[in-house]
């Protein structure tokens, strides 16, 4: 897409009219995300040259092995946001609990909380495949000036102020929405600026790509198995093409551009699914809906789910509207699976 030479900072300023609460705080928050992303990007791009590959030797709250870059990216985003006191609280997929930012004088007058997956797809790091960062921003519920509480983070996805991701690939892109469409910005590494390269991004209503880990096929619910058979039939415009990277950011980004569906369902080995509602599904669902796409848990809209815990998992069907609807038709034949 044609670059109209607008930097991310200029774009934010030009679109301040869209923000319901214009105070400069939101702009500074996005600038901090941009800075942290550039630092992580630098480390990702030299990962093979420094001791940053491999496992860190610890597990996160989900019981998953943490990679060295997981830990590094988490520290970079946490410290960048904490040091600038731009948010009053942060919840990270890599942390057991949320972090309260009290401010230099013991109180914090900021309005926003952030939830973040610092390095999505980290199992791909050692093999030089694209990874990403996912972020989600909400206005706090509790009174400004008081310490944040868990209810500030356990908000439905339809209350998000903004959400986005950074994909560290052949080029580094920051893609975000503040509720007025989706725009993508590509990093020019020569000068360190993000430029608007993909304005008004949108899912095609139909697609020919399905993204799912078919190695787990025997463990999937019957509705998913039936939909996969539908995708593989030689009929009409099918069979579809299977493309699965194993990095949600990368799979989502490709499907938004080319048209497709991403599925991570429940299974007999993961009865609630694998993806986290707050750190992955809600921000990606917000982006999808703002880009003419759709996101469900197979039965209901992701953004309407009321979170009950910070690290809650849900099944995830996301992508081109008609493909998500068709998958939903197959899932609806098995209503007993809706209560995962």
Q: Decide the pairing of beta strands 112-120 and 89-92.
A: parallel
The answer to whether the CB of 177 falls within 8 A of the CB of 286 is yes
The whole-chain average pLDDT of the chain stands at 89
How many DSSP H helices and E strands does the chain contain? 7, 15
120 labeled part of a ligand binding site: yes
Which pLDDT score, from 0 to 100, does residue 110 have?
86
Cis geometry, peptide bond prior to residue 239 (ω within 30 degrees of 0)? yes
119 labeled part of a ligand binding site: yes
Domains and CATH numbers, the chain: 8-198 (3.30.540.10), 209-334 (3.40.190.80)
* DSSP letters for 229-246: HHHHS-STT-SPEE---S
- Give the whole-angstrom CA distance, residue 240 versus residue 236: 10
Which pLDDT score, from 0 to 100, does residue 133 have?
96
Which pLDDT score, from 0 to 100, does residue 105 have?
61
The answer to whether the CB of 132 falls within 8 A of the CB of 284 is no
93 labeled part of a ligand binding site: yes
213 labeled part of a ligand binding site: yes
Cis geometry, peptide bond prior to residue 258 (ω within 30 degrees of 0)? no
Which pLDDT score, from 0 to 100, does residue 138 have?
96
Which pLDDT score, from 0 to 100, does residue 319 have?
98
Which pLDDT score, from 0 to 100, does residue 287 have?
98
The answer to whether the CB of 336 falls within 8 A of the CB of 299 is no
Which pLDDT score, from 0 to 100, does residue 63 have?
53
- Give the whole-angstrom CA distance, residue 149 versus residue 93: 17
Q: What are phi and psi of 93, to 5 degrees?
A: -60, -25
Query: How do residues 320-337 score in pLDDT, each as one tens digit?
Result: 999 999 999 999 999 999
Structure-token match 């789910």, residue found: 305
The answer to whether the CB of 281 falls within 8 A of the CB of 288 is no
Which pLDDT score, from 0 to 100, does residue 64 have?
53
Q: How many CB atoms lie under 10 A from the CB of residue 146?
A: 12
- The side-by-side arrangement of strands in the sheet containing 160-168 is 99-100, 89-92, 112-120, 131-139, 160-168, 172-177, 182-188, 193-198
Which pLDDT score, from 0 to 100, does residue 113 have?
96
274 labeled part of a ligand binding site: yes
Which pLDDT score, from 0 to 100, does residue 1 have?
43
Closest C-alpha among 184, 183, 160 to residue 172: 184
DSSP class of residue 291? T
Which pLDDT score, from 0 to 100, does residue 223 have?
98
Which ranges of the chain have pLDDT less than 70? Answer: 1-4, 17-23, 46-67, 103-107, 125
Q: What are phi and psi of 70, to 5 degrees?
A: -55, -50
121 labeled part of a ligand binding site: yes
**pTM for the predicted model, two decimal places:** 0.92
Structure-token match 């399905």, residue found: 210
Which pLDDT score, from 0 to 100, does residue 52 have?
45
């Amino acid at each position: 897409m044609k670059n109209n030479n607008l930097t991310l900072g200029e774009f934010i300023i030009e679109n301040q009219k869209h923000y319901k609460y214009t105070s400069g705080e939101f702009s500074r928050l996005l600038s901090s995300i941009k800075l942290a992303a550039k630092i992580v990007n630098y480390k990702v791009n030299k990962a093979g040259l420094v001791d940053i590959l491999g496992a860190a030797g610890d597990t996160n709250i989900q019981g998953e092995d943490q990679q060295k870059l997981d830990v590094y990216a988490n520290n970079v985003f946490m410290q960048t946001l904490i040091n600038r006191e731009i948010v009053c609280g942060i919840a990270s997929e890599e942390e057991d609990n949320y972090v309260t930012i009290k401010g230099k004088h013991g109180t914090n007058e900021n309005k926003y909380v952030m939830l973040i997956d610092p390095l999505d797809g980290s199992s791909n790091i050692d093999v030089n495949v694209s990874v990403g960062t996912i972020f989600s921003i909400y206005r706090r519920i509790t009174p400004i000036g008081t310490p944040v509480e868990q209810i500030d983070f356990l908000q439905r996805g339809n209350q998000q102020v903004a959400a986005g991701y950074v994909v560290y690939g052949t080029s580094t892109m920051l893609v975000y929405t503040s509720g007025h469409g989706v725009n993508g910005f590509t990093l020019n590494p020569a000068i360190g600026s993000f430029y608007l390269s993909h304005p008004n991004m949108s899912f095609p209503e139909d697609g020919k790509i399905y993204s799912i880990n078919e190695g787990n096929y025997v463990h999937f619910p019957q509705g998913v198995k039936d939909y996969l058979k539908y995708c593989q039939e030689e009929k009409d415009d099918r069979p579809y093409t299977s493309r699965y990277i194993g990095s949600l950011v990368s799979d989502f980004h490709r499907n938004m551009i080319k048209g497709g569906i991403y599925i991570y369902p429940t299974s007999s080995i993961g009865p609630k699914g694998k993806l986290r509602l707050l750190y992955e599904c809600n921000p990606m669902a917000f982006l999808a809906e703002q880009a003419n796409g759709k996101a469900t848990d197979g039965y209901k809209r992701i953004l309407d789910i009321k979170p009950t815990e910070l690290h809650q998992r849900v099944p995830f069907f996301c992508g081109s509207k008609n493909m998500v609807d068709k998958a939903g038709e197959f899932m609806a034949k098995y209503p007993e699976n809706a209560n995962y």
